[in-house]
Amino acid sequence: MSARLAGLVTASLVCAAGAARAGVIHGVLHVPPVAITVEAVGNRYPGRASSMPHVAPMVHGAATDAVISIQRISPAADSALAARRDEVPRLAQKDQSFVPRVLAIPVGASVDFPNLDPIFHNVFSVSPVKRFDLGKYPRGQSRRVTFGKAGLVQVYCDIHANMAAFILVLPNPAFARPDVQGTFALPDLPPGTYTLKVWHPDLPELSRTVEVPEQGDVALDLSY
């Protein structure tokens, strides 16, 4: 191998190693005490009252309802993260509620809406980001919707007024959901300066500027 060719190979390896560097933004999101509202009487489907004995409680302010995301990433990072996603997310109808209450997806993703209850449900939205009406369908059936625009989509059931959910359509796949303790970890990101946002259906939006270094991760403590 000539000296010139060896130099080119070495330079390519250095560039590849630099491109492979990535850091993780992780930490804990602290939310106020959770408030729980329980529906005393279920709004059951007419004619099938005995088949819906349990209605799930409505929980507000839970850490698990937050979405932590990065506002903008490079096209290369976007493509790399998108390649890791192979499952179609679900927003199920279960115990006369939408499960999960909050769903985060990247632009262009599809969502399945299976009915797991022994009664009919309907799924619809009048949100400008995505308007749809899937009609009424029984247990065991599902519908699918594709979301091509970023923004917030509020989802309802026209049979049961207590049912409501949120689909947050994000501009890229760099987002994470906290666990019940508020612990979260975003996907690997190349070194750089990023704008991190925290969205929650019951709490104000938070925003932070975060610097991902050439080496090492970033630990954040986020509080309302």
Interval 95-125: pLDDT, tens: 999 999 999 999 999 999 999 999 999 999 9
Question: Do 75 and 112 contact (CB within 8 A), yes or no?
Answer: no
**Mapping DSSP to helix (H, G, I), strand (E, B) and coil, where does residue 217 land?**
coil
H/E stretch holding 80 reads helix 75-82
Question: Do 96 and 162 contact (CB within 8 A), yes or no?
Answer: yes
Q: Which residue segments constitute the domains of the chain, with CATH numbers given?
A: 22-223 (2.60.40.420)
Q: Strands 175-176, 183-185: parallel, antiparallel or unpaired by DSSP?
A: unpaired
**Dmax over Cα atoms in the chain, in whole Å?**
84
pLDDT of residue 99: 96
pLDDT of residue 52: 63
Residues 6+ apart with CB under 8 A from 43: 55, 96, 159, 160, 161, 162
- The reported pTM is 0.84
User: CA 133 to CA 119: how far, in whole Å?
Assistant: 18
Query: Which residues of the chain are under the pLDDT cut of 50?
Result: 1-19, 40-41, 43, 45-47, 49-50
